Each structure stands twice: as structure tokens, then as C-alpha cells.
Structure 1
Amino acid sequence: MARDYRVLLVDLAKGFGGAEVRVLTQAGALQGVVQECKVATLQGSVLHARLQEEGLPHEVLTVSRSSPRLLLVLRGLIQRGGYQIVDAHNVQSILWGHLAAVLAGARGRVATIHSDYGREYSGLKGRFYEAVLWLNRRVVRQIINVTEVLQQKSEQAGDGHRSTLIHNAVPVPPHPYEGQNTQLRNELGVTETDFVVGKIARLKPVKGHKYLIEAFTHLSDRPDIKLVIVGDGPLEAELKAQVEALSLQERVVFTGFRTDIPQVMQAVDCVCMASLSEALPYTVLEAASYARPLLVTEVGGLATLLANGETAIMVPARDPQALAEGIRRLVEDPGMARQLGVAAYEMVRDSFSVDVMLESILEVYDQAVQT
């Protein structure tokens, strides 16, 4: 029997990352489980396009995030829709969404936290994000954290009584993937015998692309090892210049932003997360769901989710030499690489299913409308 409340998920991001994957997954899972669930999204955003593609109910906001009118538009949307739950994802969504919810009289104000924003963003931007979250503590009723590190941060701030750890989740195939997407590999310019390292992330400093690119200077004896970088972002020109300066043009492929991530996972031989700070990236869960071996830096949610030598190879952040050695281990020991991939697949299958995530979210929503 469906819960008798209406849910509005608010995501005002222009780009597309892990938070938006979570919103898509969550919106799909909530259909028919609650009285109504819609997503409030910006017109022309990638999330807007994806919601249209998947046929999920949504409300399109035509007002800029920098305009005070957005507050009034959201308030009207919440009032007209009779939403009792407003679940806001990312900082700007929390700022506008929860202020509007207060004005509209929506009691069930939920904040889903995807990153340690103060650590991920330096300078004024990071301080502003942390200030928004601090002020939001006055109005939020329930907090959902996607990693243990974020949950610990909530508890240290005195919010343990209204904070819940709910990991991200992905659909998991019934069996570990075996094979190779040769068609996509051909499109990317890599051969069947190349060992392809996949790096799927926004091109921004915290994702550590420059250290992974530099790692390939330590693999000059293995020209068959290639790097495919999937994503767009502010560092694109800088990273391409780095590749050219290091004469790695024949070994590094930039694909730009792509939506066919399952096909990408089938085309690469391993997935690397070289991040300097990380929550619980969907890339890792998606890679594990296809039994791709993982090479990750020992930071944030990666360090708590994965076990070195069991479900991933873990190396220090900002260490190109260590990244190169990790890649070499995967190339030279395919049996070990396969074992890591299968172990990661089993971990995701058992603990990160959409059904598990949905059950936990509904429990939080129940508390939010009662408190």
C-alpha cells in the first residue's frame, strides 16, 4: 500500500553527477510507493533531459538559481502540489528548497548530503556551502548521508538523532559481466588487446585527473595500456594540454560527457578513481555492478566502502607512481584483477540494491512527516 504523502525531490544542478544519478534512481523507485513523487529541476539541465528520456514525473523551473524569484516559484509549486516531503539534493537545492518548504508549510524537510562540501570546495565557495548547511540545521527535520564519513560529520555536529546513513544504490545484473564491448572500444580507438583504464568523472580538481595522467609517464614500457577519460568540466583544456606536454596523445582518449555509462563499463578493463576527496561515487558502484576491477585512492567514502586487496586496489591520493604501480598489478595479474571485480560485484549485489535504499528512505520520510 502506497504511503499517503507526496514527495518533491529538488535538484537544481545544471550538470550531471552522482547526486543526479541518485535522484533519477530514487524518483523511479518511489513511483507507486508514495502518493506522488516529482522532481523539481532546472530547464535545460542534463537532469531535465534524463527525466524526459525516462518518462519520470517532473516540474521544470525556468528561473535562474541566482534569482530571488526562484524562492517564490518553489513555494508556489510546493503549495499547489500539496507536497508534505521536500527532499533536497546538493547545497543550492537545500538553500532554495527548504526555505520555500518553510514558507509553504511543508513539514517533511529532508536534506540528502552527497559530499563533504567544505573539504571538496576550497576558499569562499566551500565556506559558503558549509554556512548554508549550518543555517539549514534550523529548519531541516531529517538528514540523509550517503557515506559513513558524512554520517560521522553529522553526529559530530550534534545531528545524530535526525541523521541516517543511506548508501547510493544501483541496479545489479544477475551475474558478473564477462566480455568486452568491442564496438565501443573500436569507436574509442583502442584495440581488443589493449588494457583500458577508465576514468569517469567531472573534469574538476578534486577528481585527481592530473595525477592519473602523470601516472602514465611511469608506464612508458607498456604502450598497450590506454586511458579513457569520460566526462566534461572546467579542467578540460588544462588536462588536454597536460596530455600533449607529456606526449601521451596516443594513449589518452577524452570522450566528453556521455550517458551510456553501462556500455562504457563493458568496454574498459578497470576503473580508476584518483580523487583527492570523495563521498560514495556512483562510478564505483556502477563499475562494481559490472565486475570491473577497481583502483582507487584511499579517501573518504572509498576508504570505508572498499577493502584493499579484497574489493579494490587502494593507493594514496596525489601519488602518480602508486597509481602506475596499481595499474601494472592489474595488467600483469589478470586472475587477481578478475577476483577483485567479482568480489566488488558481490558486495554491491548484497548491500547496495535499490530495494534496500528505498526501504531506508521511506523510513526517513515517515519520521520527517511525524516530527
Structure 2
Amino acid sequence: MNVLYVTNQVFALSKSNKMMFSLLEKLEHKVFWAANFNSYVGDISTIPCDIVQIDLTSNPLNKTNVKAYRQLCRAVAENSIEAMHCHTPIGSLLGRVVAKKMGIAPVIYTAHGFLFFEGAPRVSGMVFRMEESLLARCTDALVTINEMDYQAARKFKLRNGGRLYKVHGAGIEAQVDRGKTAGLRKALSLEGKTLCFSAARVDSNKNIETVLKAISLVPDRNIHYVVAGDGPDLSRLKERADRLGVADRVHFLGYRLDVSELLNEIDIFVLSSIREGLSRSVMEAMSHGLPCVLSQARGNQDLVAHGVGGYICETLNPQSYAEAIRRLAASEGLRAKMGERNRASVEEFSLSNVREEYREIYERHLVEGIRR
């Protein structure tokens, strides 16, 4: 069967995507990956499936998405697509609209965090909830990755015979090499400092400005904040750090492919997102035995228990993050204790476990579904 795997903008080939493609291939399906590869980092020829460029943007109102819609329709026709697996909010919207128009079934949709989350703008939240409810009617398998999304999805009516699932995220390598580093401390002369770290796209949803404010509230100048990631807010946040008087304690690394090595040099992991499905970066930090300082975003609370593996902070309250960072920075023993709890609890989110969860979904909907 020819399967179209639809996502949004792609920067690199993740281990979870490689796992999905390998699994589909072993189940004797041919995979076509439709996404926006314009910002891809690395050798695109090493991607282990056929790729289809679609000029998709994350802004649903951008007229470029009309072009992406036409490109998807053409991809379905030219490649004799028989099934579709959609990811990301806009990728899944366009993908499922195209699937309905072109008569594609089965359609699998993995929701990486519904956009009608608590705290979202009221009008846009209502629109996104209505969109998800309507498109559920042309979805055969709806896969959620956190408890709140799973409960919300129970109210949707899927296509006849459709099923709702909850899986353990995208999957991570639960066992990591703790010995290899990126040489971060030496390169930035940070030996002996306490390092807080975020690996995130630098945009408004990741809410990095709140952490900058938190760092400004922590008087200990031995506490530094390192950010690995790129995005539209990078220049503004560098200026903001300067105005807050913490530019010498905040280090923006840009986009990095060596996050695992960076994590081996970190003391405290921080993620302040307004919205998260189930953050891969948090799970990777947990697998490295790090304590986590997280926002109240839905998926974060599925991963880390407050006061056990770290602290859940009020999402937009800098003082909340500052207090959590101060507590962890003051006690190496506390950091070690919480980190070990995280290392143990993240095992269930391993790639091997998620692979088996998706194997059951694919076998049911891409094999048994066709037979029926």
C-alpha cells in the first residue's frame, strides 16, 4: 500500500520518524513523506523514503497553504496514494481535507496537542475545536499522546469503525550515552556554573521570555541559561536579555543537532511552553537523569510529577520559575534524586514501546481495515 505521511516544516530526520518509516516498510507499505523541507538541515538524500515538497506554513491563514493543498492533491494522484498518516495541526488539517476530497481511506491522525487547549483565545479555541470535530468524521484512527487530549477526543465522532488511541508520545532512546559531551562548558567558559537549559523553537509558544525574566530574578550569577534552537523571536529575545541585565548569563546556541551531548553537561532542564502535546525534549532530558522545571502545559504534567521529578510552574509567572531554579541550584542532592526518578519513569516512553503501539494501529487500520 502507498502511504502518504504528512507533517509540517521539517528541520531534521528524527529517530521517531525513522522508526515510523522502518515499521511501515516492514509491514510492506511504501512511504511518501509530504512536508516543507525548505529549512532541512543535513543531507536530504539520506531520508529513507520518497519525499514530496509541499509549501506548508504553520499559519493557517497564510495563502501559501492554498498552494500546499494543491500540491498535496497532486501528490495523492501522482503516487497512487491509498492511505494517509497526518501529523501537526496544519498538516493534519490539509491532509484530511485532501483525503476526503480524493477519497483516501484509511486516514490516521496523530494529534500532537490540540489547539483548543485551556487558556487559548476563546474565538480561535472554538474554531479549532469545531475543525477537529468535523475532520474527525473522516478519520479512521485518532492517536493522542496525553491524557487531556485523549479525554477531549472521546467527544469526537470518528468515521464508521474508527478508533481512538493514546500512545506514549513519539518515542525516545531511553538508554543514552552519558559520557559524550559537546564541549559546551569549555567553549563558553562555564566551568563550575549551574546550567539551566532549553531545547526549543524560539517562538511565542515556547514562552522563553518568561524564563529570561526568571533568570533576572535569581541573583546568583553562577546560574546561567542556555537555549538551543532557532526561530522568529531569536533577535528580540537577545535584546530582551540585554535589557533585563542577564545577557552575560543567557547563551543562545541556535539550532543544534547535538542536543543529547549538550544534555550531558546540563544541571536543570527548563521548558516553559504555553502549549505542548508530549514534549520529546522533556523526555530526552528525563532519560539523561535531569530534574525538570516545566510549565503547566498539558503534556508536561503527564511526564513529571510536581515535587518528584522537578517542578510544574505557573506558565506565565517568572517568579514561579525563579523559585524552582533557586531550589534546584542550591542542592546537588535534590537534583540527583529528582533526575533518577525521571530516568526511571521515562522508560515507558521508549522508541521500542511506541513502535509496538503503532504496529498495532498500523496492522489494524492499514491491513485489517483494507480487508474489511
Q: Normalising by structure 1, what TM-score?
A: 0.85
CA contact (8 A) 2:89 2:114 kept: no
CA contact (8 A) 2:54 2:71 kept: no
Give 2:38's match in structure 1, choosing from 40, 44, 55. Answer: 44
For 2:42 and 2:352, the matched residues in 1 are separated by 22
Q: Look up the SS of the partner of 1:10 in the other structure.
A: strand
For 1:88-103, what aligned pairs fall within 5 Å after superposition?
88-103=86-101
Matched, 1:14 2:9: yes
Q: Look up the SS of the partner of 1:95 in the other structure.
A: helix
For 2:25 and 2:184, the matched residues in 1 are separated by 33
Give 2:254's match in structure 1, choosing from 231, 253, 256. Answer: 256
For 1:165-204, what aligned pairs fall within 5 Å after superposition?
165-172=166-173, 174=175, 178=178, 181=181, 183-187=183-187, 189-204=188-203
> Which residue number in structure 1 is paired with residue 359 of structure 2?
362
For 1:50 and 1:288, the matched residues in 2 are separated by 27
Aligned-residue CA RMSD (Å)? 2.9
Give the partner amino acid of 2:245: S
Give the partner amino acid of 1:197: C
CA contact (8 A) 1:38 1:58 kept: yes
> Which residue number in structure 2 is paired with residue 35 of structure 1?
29
Instruction: Give per-residue Cα distances to partners, 1:226-255, cap 9 Å, x unaligned.
Output: 000122223223322221111111100111
Q: In percent, how many aligned pairs have the same letter?
A: 21
For 1:201-212, what aligned pairs fall within 5 Å after superposition?
201-212=200-211
CA contact (8 A) 2:140 2:162 kept: no
For 1:276 and 1:299, the matched residues in 2 are separated by 6
For 1:314-329, what aligned pairs fall within 5 Å after superposition?
314-329=312-327
Matched, 1:61 2:53: yes
For 2:248 and 2:45, the matched residues in 1 are separated by 35
CA contact (8 A) 2:226 2:253 kept: yes
Q: Look up the SS of the partner of 1:313 in the other structure.
A: strand
Could you say if the C-alpha distance between residues 43 and 272 of structure 1 is closer, same or farther in structure 2, counting changes exceeding 3 Å? closer
Q: Normalising by structure 2, what TM-score?
A: 0.85
What runs of 5+ residues in structure 1 fail to find an aligned partner?
A: none
The runs of 4+ residues in structure 1 deviating greater than 6 Å are none
For 1:20 and 1:88, the matched residues in 2 are separated by 16
CA contact (8 A) 1:85 1:109 kept: yes
Instruction: Give per-residue Cα distances to partners, 1:246-283, cap 9 Å, x unaligned.
Output: 11111001112222221221232221112233221111
Number of residues paired by the alignment?
359
For 1:190 and 1:130, the matched residues in 2 are separated by 48
Could you say if the C-alpha distance between residues 194 and 54 of structure 1 is closer, same or farther in structure 2, counting changes exceeding 3 Å? farther
Could you say if the C-alpha distance between residues 146 and 53 of structure 1 is closer, same or farther in structure 2, counting changes exceeding 3 Å? farther
What runs of 5+ residues in structure 2 fail to find an aligned partner?
A: 58-63
Could you say if the C-alpha distance between residues 101 and 258 of structure 1 is closer, same or farther in structure 2, counting changes exceeding 3 Å? same
Q: Look up the SS of the partner of 1:114 in the other structure.
A: coil
Could you say if the C-alpha distance between residues 192 and 173 of structure 1 is closer, same or farther in structure 2, counting changes exceeding 3 Å? farther
> Which residue number in structure 2 is paired with residue 270 of structure 1?
268
